[in-house]
Amino acid sequence: MRNLAPSLLTVVLDTNPHAWAILEDSLPLSKAIANILVFINSHLAFNFANEVAVIASHSDRAVWLYPSQQPQDRTTTKKNPEGDIPMNDGSERRPSIGQVNKYRPFRIVEEQVTQNIRQLLESTSVDRVKATTSTMMAGALTMALSHINRRSISWAEAHGGSNLDASSSELRSSGRSGPENVAGALKSRILIISVSSSTGSAHQYIPIMNAIFACQRLRIPIDVCKLSGDAVFLQQASDATRGVYMSLSEPRGLLQYLMMAFLPDQRSRQHLILPTRVDVDFRAACFCHRRVVNIGFVCSICLSIFCEPPENGDCLTCGTHLSLSDYGAKPAVVARKKKKKKLRANSASATATPTPAPTPDA
């Protein structure tokens, strides 16, 4: 039996303190992290070669939660004045019985995620929380794409990159190009657990759209689990990359939604009926004030969007002089429809058709 290709799941967790304070009564952050860890363990249990990465999209920065960039065992980094590393019997960090009996990949993910998110929240000052109410979603998506690219290259080199390249060229020649069509390629997808409003991230519109286009080109679906707030840009990301978008009416059922809607990978989704969203909000943010607009002005050269005509008619992006004429100065002239004249019964021009008289029976 041929082994299935592994799947790389990158979870982007929105840790905006303002949004989680609103959800404190229905779904605290600690309970949400516990549900996410159960979901991650289920993903790792499907295949021993499955991989996972967790990124926190905080209010002022995006940081790694797993894999951790810092060494976990700090006792080995402490040195005495003579420069020697002290030796101990390991009593300082002796794991409990439950931790010893736990599956090692599960334990490593749980320890690193909980420890790093605790450090993140403790290092967040009150001034940083008051400075902004948005989240660094653009930075988190960029980090996710970089990690996916690095792991895909490493997997191809370790498991025969030349064969994968040959298979890719054959599929491109047959008109079925795409990383998901290669049998041995690493399957990658991104899951965003969002609690912030997209209107607060309007200033990140350009980098967010660039990340969405990159995922669309690489055939990386972006799944969105929306717990609160509106999601203008995330709806577009899920629709463009053929991902799953769900806005939870009851955040208490987070684990059930994660297990039933977001656990299947790309290969399993080919045999399932996925939840789709028809009423996608395709509004964009203007390039001048970073506001979400319904109607705006679009540059015919670089397709930049403006909520109002630029000063002197010059595009703020490419500098092209745009001719706006007298837009809005005169009302639009609409040709009136000609009314058909009704024929009068007594008019001379009207011709009456005589009614034939009935003939008597012979």
Per-residue pLDDT tens digits for 179-231: 443 446 889 999 999 998 865 567 788 888 899 999 999 999 999 999 987 77
Tell whether the model's pLDDT for residue 77 goes beyond 60. Answer: no
Per-residue pLDDT tens digits for 133-163: 888 999 999 999 999 999 999 998 888 754 4
Select the more confidently predicted residue: 235 or 350. Answer: 235
Closest C-alpha to 22, from 229, 238, 161: 229
Rounded Cα–Cα distance for residues 59 and 165 (Å)? 40
- Read off the pLDDT band of 358 (50, 70, 90): low
Closest C-alpha to 206, from 123, 141, 261, 281: 141
Q: Which CATH code fits 7-68+103-163+184-271? A: 3.40.50.410
The 3-state DSSP class for residue 20 equals helix
CB-CB contact of 62 with 139 (8 Å): yes
Closest C-alpha to 226, from 237, 210, 211: 237
Rounded Cα–Cα distance for residues 185 and 30 (Å)? 35
In the chain, list all ranges with CATH 3.40.50.410. 7-68+103-163+184-271
Tell me what pLDDT residue 345 has.
Answer: 54
Assigned token pair, 171: 């599929």
The 3-state DSSP class for residue 167 equals helix
The full DSSP string for 169-205 is HHHHHTT--SGGGSTTSPEEEEEEEE-S-GGGGGGGH
CB-CB contact of 135 with 12 (8 Å): no
Tell me what pLDDT residue 274 has.
Answer: 84
Rounded to a whole number of angstroms, the CA Rg of the chain reads: 30
CB-CB contact of 46 with 34 (8 Å): no
Assigned token pair, 113: 């995620």
Task: Compute the mean pLDDT over every residue in the chain, rounded to the nearest whole number.
Answer: 79
Rounded Cα–Cα distance for residues 242 and 274 (Å)? 10
